[in-house]
Amino acid sequence: MGSLSETDRPKFGQALNQLKELIEDQIRQKEQSLGLKTAQGDVSFDPTLPGISPRIGKLHPITQTIQEISDIFTRLGFETVDGREIETEFYNFTALNIPLDHPSRDAFDTFYTESGHLLRSQTSTVQVRVMEKRKPPIRIIAPGRVYRPDAVDASHSFMFHQIEGLMVDARTTFSDLKGVLHLFLRKLLGPDIKMRFRPHFFPFTEPSVEIDVSWGKGWLELLGAGQVDPAVFEAVGYNPKKVQGFAFGLGVERIAMLKYGIKDIRLFYENDLRFLEQF
């Protein structure tokens, strides 16, 4: 500019300013078409800045465990069905052969609403709901939350997850129960596990068992199971002389704790990302 004459200098300056405006205008238009905006409307996009990577969410370890278990049962021909968390006394107790004054109600007596409903204490409620609606053959599993009057500590929670299983047909024997659960547990925990059946009592199965699993270092109780009690078949309108079946229930938290080496059940419910991001 120093080499321009006195008269040319302002003209040149003017031309430069026009050019600048033109370029800024173009940039603004481009920004607008790209959806970029700043409060001042001035230059906003710096392609040299590092990008903002989106946070990728993960499924909760309990959800992952439920999905893994459902996948195995799907391959065995079981359909996954949904149940209700708010139930009536009939589905949680009476239809499952637990009369009003039965001592086994104590461990299951849960949270009641003023309208006479309750939060289910076991997923066995879904057995009744499914059989009421369908005719055999039935092969279902039903995952979901259950509620118990338990004090919270490292291994207890007033809310946890169960998966119920039910198989009913003209002839579904105790050896079918054994075969299905053996296949399932080996698929889930490894081919070398051992399974042990201990006699037990559940009002809605007869005979009933608890199933323990071992990897060679002691036994861990994982499931309750048994042949569906004729009284339950009667409650849903089946003829107990014509159908047979088995049912089982397993605790999801317990399996997840075992699989991942988690020592405290409360970690599942605290929503601490330092814990959740590990799965």
Site for ligand PHE in 147-176 (CB under 6 A): 164
Largest CA distance in the chain: 115
Site for ligand PHE in 245-274 (CB under 6 A): 247-249
Are 125 and 113 a contacting pair, CB within 8 Å?
no
CB of 105 to ligand PHE, least distance (A): 13
**Which helix (H) or strand (E) covers residue 256, if one does?**
helix 252-260
**Which residue has the CB atom at the shortest distance from ligand PHE?**
249
The footprint of ligand PHE on this chain (CB under 6 A) covers a number of residues equal to 12
Among the listed residues 65, 124, 125, 244, the single contact to ligand PHE using CB under 6 A: 124
CB of 88 to ligand PHE, least distance (A): 17
Are 158 and 147 a contacting pair, CB within 8 Å?
yes
Nearer to ligand PHE, 96 or 188 (CB): 96
CB of 259 to ligand PHE, least distance (A): 20
Are 149 and 158 a contacting pair, CB within 8 Å?
yes
Is 203 an interacting residue with respect to ligand PHE (CB under 6 A)? Answer: no
Strand partners, 103: none
Is 91 an interacting residue with respect to ligand PHE (CB under 6 A)? Answer: no
Instruction: Transcribe 72-113 into DSSP letters.
Output: HHHHTTPEE----SEE-HHHHTGGGT--TT-GGGGGG---B-
Chain-centroid distance, C-alpha 268: 11
Say what angle helices 174-189 and 252-260 make with each other, to 10 degrees.
40
Q: Which stretch binds ligand PHE (CB under 6 A): 56-64, 82-90, 201-209, 252-260?
A: 201-209
Nearer to ligand PHE, 204 or 268 (CB): 204
What is residue 174's three-state secondary structure? helix
Is 205 an interacting residue with respect to ligand PHE (CB under 6 A)? Answer: yes
Beta-carbon contacts of 162 under 8 Å, excluding residues fewer than 6 positions away, are: 122, 123, 143, 144, 146, 249, 250, 251, 252
Are 195 and 179 a contacting pair, CB within 8 Å?
no
Among the listed residues 73, 202, 238, 268, the single contact to ligand PHE using CB under 6 A: 202
Is 97 an interacting residue with respect to ligand PHE (CB under 6 A)? Answer: no
CB of 214 to ligand PHE, least distance (A): 20
Binding mask 218-247 for ligand PHE (x = CB under 6 A): ------xxx--------------------x
Is 211 an interacting residue with respect to ligand PHE (CB under 6 A)? Answer: no
Residues in contact with ligand PHE by CB under 6 A are 122, 124, 164, 202, 205, 208, 224-226, 247-249
